[in-house]
Amino acid sequence: MTLGSMTFGSGTGAYGAMCTVGQDAADDLVARAFDAGVNCFNAASTYGGGESEEILGRALGKRRGDAVLMSKVGFRLTKDVLDGGTSGRSIIKTCDDCLRTLGTDWLDVFEVHRVDPHTPMDEILAALDLLVQQGKWRYTAFANWPAWMVGRANALQQECRQAPFRATELLYTLINRDIEESHIDLLAAAAPPVHQPAGPLRGLPRGTAAHARCELLHRQRRLGQRIDAFGRQRRLSGRQGRPNHNVQGAGL
């Protein structure tokens, strides 16, 4: 299990309405987490404009060595044109900033937070590998990447003998289980552990009424998505002048 720090902050900045957990409350949450056996803490440079990491770092204090500490790179923090994204420059700068705000010499996991269509894949992977070799973090990870991009990255990492992805953070709940069709087989082959962000509907035991309702909602959602896709295919076929009856509805 993981304790996220997205709500840590003083209530200012872009995430002000969400980041309202101050230092005293954060200290208490982190202490309770350790007492309950939770030792993984998830941060990001964007949470609270960096204030969240400062609060988490102080809350960990002397127990930093007992924690698995994660942070992320990818989202814009300022209006600076060179800020944000996952260019080599941005990855290196964000890593140094995270180490400073968290008050630590290393991170256990550093995660690419989002897809960056403007930076070549080889530049992203080279920067991640460089900082692993420098000892600034132990393992690299990704979040919110489509399966094809993960597969391409894995192939490049093997070809270039770079540090591979060792973890991922993907949306996965009892209602939203899309990664079972898109990512799970790939992840099993590549063998990174799946770190699941907290969701209010995870962890319901099978056989309960709540689990059955969530299972039904998931199937209804998937059916709705397939019907929507079928409708888009029919409209596209009509625009291209092909008879609609040529569009197959297999899988519904």
Annotated active-site positions, please? 47
Is the CB of residue 186 less than 8 Å from the CB of residue 192?
no
> What is the DSSP annotation of the chain?
-EEE-TTBS-S-STTTTT--B-HHHHHHHHHHHHHTT--EEE--TTGGGGHHHHHHHHHHGGGGGG-EEEEEE-S--SS-TTSSS--HHHHHHHHHHHHHHHT-S-EEEEEE-S--TTS-HHHHHHHHHHHHHTTSEEEEEEES--HHHHHHHHHHHHHTTPPPEEEEE----SS--THHHHTHHHHHHH---EEPPP-TTTTPPTTSHHHHHHHHHHHHHHHHHHHHHHHHHHHHHHHTT--GGGS--TT-
Is the CB of residue 52 less than 8 Å from the CB of residue 5?
yes
